[in-house]
Chain A
Amino acid sequence: MTLSPFQILEVPADADDDRVRAAYLRKVRQHPPERDPETFRRIRQAYEAIRDVRARIAYRLFHVPDWRTIAVSVPERPTRAQFQAMLRACAERMTEADG
């Protein structure tokens, strides 16, 4: 699943500059570049995207998630309503079989 920069840094959407910076430093300590370069790159990108108030405004205004990436990352699953309909149909079948 594609995570937003706020989710990657684990900060709320209304976090201020200091909080974003603190979260970034905490994450970098957890995933230092020499040990986990790929995760570090993602953390760095996330930080750059929301590092100050202007960046956060630009992110909220202009960021468009790539629907193809999300389409690939979401497994094919029925919706809850479809699942429940299937269970209901099975229950009805049971009644019919008994009848």
Chain B
Amino acid sequence: MTTEFRRQVLLALAGDERVLASLVPESPLARHLPAAQAAVEAFCRGDDAAMEAALAELPFRSPYRDLRWLLKGLACHSENPAAGRRFLGRIAPDSPFHGPARVAEAVLAGETSALSPPFQEFAAALRRAGPPDKLTMVQRLIDRMDAETAKGLLVHAPSAMSLYQHRIAPLPPAERLRIEALHQEYYGDRRRACELWGELLALHRETEPLKAAAIAEHLAELTADLAGPEDPEVARWLEEAANLDPDDRAVWLKLADHYRRCGKSADLRKALARALARFPDDGELRQLAAQAALERGACRQAAAHAKHLLRRDPLDEQARDLLFQARVTQARKYLAAGREDLARRALIDARAAAGDERRRAQVLALEGMAALLGGCPSQADACFHQARRLLLPPLADWRIAAEALSIRQSAQVVGALLKSLRLVLAHAALNPDKSTMTALLDDAAELARSDPEAARLLLRTGNGYFRRLVRLEWSLAEIDTLGERLLTLERYQWLRDLVRSHPRWGQRPPLLVYLDIAAKCRGVAENLNLHDVARLSQALEQVGEDQPRLRGRIERLLADFQAAFSRPAPFGSRGDAPVLSPEGGMETAVKAVVAWLNPGRWL
């Protein structure tokens, strides 16, 4: 092989136009060139399988045959330099690839400083010198990857958009807007991201409603993150998404969930009516509608939704319970209005839907109330007696008293029932058990939902009994459930006594610390003091990865505290509340909050 021929081999592969123009089509130099070029291209792309396939197409007598040793040597330079050197050693001194092999050997040996400038760049590209910066990497990937992946990566480096357009394809204005919006969302200003998504939504609203609906839903999520889940803007975006794509049931569910969380029952009712018009047989929507109707006291509607669910699936326990609740609530209303006859009819239906003994005892208690209203105390006693046979003593008496309170029975009847309950509870307090206590608290919570004052009166009657809470051995998981119930029922002192008497209180597990502080501040973040905030921050540091719920509750309390003190102060603004991070530790948290509350006085 002459020097001129070897030079032509390298220049042909390098794409030299003069050499390529002078090639004779039948010559091996021209015939084998596409396979050699494909191998180089695959090597540069990092696709070693494609490189091997292309190299296999080069015949043994091809002028490019030594390209295989060069590329294989370079391909394994980082994982196995010794193997790389062996491959390069197979290239003879009279091969066209002898020169490139010497360059490659210098790279493998790390002796790149002696190389001249054109080789330095090549060597630098081969050396792995830590992860590249995002822009460099995106630019590199644009050269090597499929258009879609490269486009996805532009979000990390929007400044590479011009390179992408130059090398791959033009980007329409909407696409550039999308990339910029995602970039702002990930790296920059999320409010700016919302503005950009809003612009994109406007672009797609008329032409691509499904896309616009997806953007509106995304904007609702972003707004909820930025301004809180109850912000009115969240509802606006979800409404817009539902209007643009009314066949997306997930959006309706989100909208209903939002209205329910915000307590907007009229909006919830309208949204569910629209959703059910589209999806009349959707179980989840129907159940939400039944619950919503029950919450606003529309018992007949709730019963109608529950019946619809039961027609679809007669074994649906949740639907059966909803129907029971609807009937019982209806019966209570009639009893409270003195319509004993109508109440009895509703209770017959309720009895048919009662799924367990607790529910049947509840019906019996209400039937007893109806009998009392109807002036039949003996019949009432019979009903109460039957209820006591179905449930353990404190549970039946508790339920009877709860029902008397819920329908606002006369003071005389309520007084007598509470007196009897007090006696039963005093007896039960001698041998308290966890399941009974939990069931009593459940019943009280149910009563509190419709009549908080009645629930308070009932709990006051059980004060002595519930003081025995601390005598029982509760696991942390049980304390977690119980703590939530006690917080809902506003039994803060019971909860603090329970937490502080727990055998593990000395170790201050995060759950007990949280419950203690939540009870101390009576569930209101504004009542927290700096010491509480510091203790919560410290507890947050100790919460394990397997306790996301507890982490969320602590973070919410801290966020509420920050939000409470970020509101404009009546005597001038203090500025933004400090951001308390779990990494900062207790001392940092205290200092930050003190400095913010009393800038001139404390520090």
Contact = CB atoms under 8 A, between A and B. Distances in A.
Contacts of A22: none
Interface stretch (B54-62, B211-219, B230-238, B265-273): B211-219
Given A65-B149, A70-B153, A78-B125, A89 B119 contact: yes
A74 B127 contact: no
Interface string A7-36: 000000100000000000000000000000
B40 A76 contact: no
Contacts of A95: 3, 7
Nearest to A94: B7
A-side interface mostly = helix
A6 B15 CA distance: 34
A64 B134 CA distance: 14
Contacts of A77: 43-46, 125-126, 144
Interface string A74-88: 111111101111111
Interface stretch (B135-143, B444-452, B564-572, B585-593): B135-143
Contacts of B119: 86, 89
Contact of A74 (B46, B125, B126, B155): B46
A77 to B, nearest CB: 5
Contact of A76 (B78, B153, B182): B78
B210 A89 contact: no
Interface string B169-212: 00000000010001000100000000000000000000000110
A84 B33 CA distance: 14
A9 to B, nearest CB: 14
Contact of A67 (B14, B138, B214, B248): B138
A80 B40 contact: yes
A58 B144 CA distance: 26
Interface in B110-130: 116, 118-119, 121-122, 125-128
B103 A83 contact: no
A2 interface: yes
Given A54-B214, A76-B126, A67 B44 contact: no
B132 interface: yes
B13 interface: yes
B11 A64 contact: no
A74 B140 contact: yes
A95 B4 CA distance: 8
B338 interface: no
Contacts of B131: 68, 71-72
B563 to A, nearest CB: 28
A85 B125 contact: no
B99 interface: yes
B430 to A, nearest CB: 56
A90 B44 contact: no
A90 B103 contact: yes
Given A57-B214, A68-B131, A80-B41, A90 B99 contact: yes
Contacts of B13: 84, 87
B468 interface: no
A1 B144 CA distance: 11
B143 A85 contact: no
A57 B138 contact: no
B4 to A, nearest CB: 8
B118 A80 contact: no
Contacts of B182: 62, 64
A87 B126 contact: no
B413 interface: no
B167 to A, nearest CB: 11
Contacts of B100: 86-87, 90
B305 interface: no
A45 interface: no
B359 to A, nearest CB: 39
Nearest to A95: B7
B149 A70 contact: yes
B156 interface: yes
Nearest to A79: B143
A84 B14 contact: yes
12 contacts: A13-B148, A61-B211, A67-B134, A74-B137, A74-B144, A75-B46, A78-B125, A87-B14, A89-B118, A94-B6, A94-B10, A94-B99
Interface of A: 1-2, 4, 6, 13, 53-54, 57-58, 61-65, 67-68, 70-72, 74-80, 82-91, 93-95, 97-98
What are the 8 tightest A-B residue pairs by CB atom distance, in nearest-first order? Answer: A90-B99, A89-B118, A78-B125, A87-B14, A91-B10, A84-B14, A86-B122, A65-B152
